[in-house]
Amino acid sequence: AQKVTQAQTEISVVEKEDVTLDCVYETRDTTYYLFWYKQPPSGELVFLIRRNSFDEQNEISGRYSWNFQKSTSSFNFTITASQVVDSAVYFCALSEMNYGGATNKLIFGTGTLLAVQP
């Protein structure tokens, strides 16, 4: 069965600290996609990144970086030099490749609440 686990319920850091949000997934499929979304206090989910299962290259975008390791079924997210504006709930999600469009649903983890203190 598909499952996404975000074991960290809440993390609190002080501004400028680095923080890593963990994501572990389970799937029987060999082709799948992983996503990270941010949900700020305003409530709207904002897309951050997508990764497909064939691309294990790490990615860096400004202060954000992602580490995808198929061997450990993990897709961790690191924020470098955190800022107060990074405070939000972060969700990791899984979508399996489907042929014929039977479904494209996202399976979400339970989210990690990140609080960055000034």
Partner 1 sequence: GAGVSQSPSNKVTEKGKDVELRCDPISGHTALYWYRQSLGQGLEFLIYFQGNSAPDKSGLPSDRFSAERTGGSVSTLTIQRTQQEDSAVYLCASSPRTSGGEDEQFFGPGTRLTVL
Q: Which of residues 25-54 bind partner 1 (CB under 8 A)?
A: 32-33, 35, 37, 42-47, 50, 52
Decide whether 50 or 74 has the Cβ nearer to partner 1.
50
In sequence order, the β-bridge partners of residue 94 are 34, 107
Q: Can residue 114 be called a binding residue for partner 1 (CB under 8 A)? A: no
Whether the CB-CB separation of 89 and 111 falls below 8 Å is answered with yes
Whether the CB-CB separation of 4 and 27 falls below 8 Å is answered with no
- Residue 111's φ and ψ, nearest 5 degrees, are 90, 150
Q: Can residue 72 be called a binding residue for partner 1 (CB under 8 A)? A: no
Compute the least distance from the CB of residue 17 to partner 1, in Å. Answer: 26
Q: Can residue 64 be called a binding residue for partner 1 (CB under 8 A)? A: no
Exposure of 106 by Cβ count < 10 A (0-12 exposed, 13-18 middle, 19+ buried)?
middle
Interface residue list for partner 1 (CB under 8 A): 32-33, 35, 37, 42-47, 50, 52, 91, 95-111
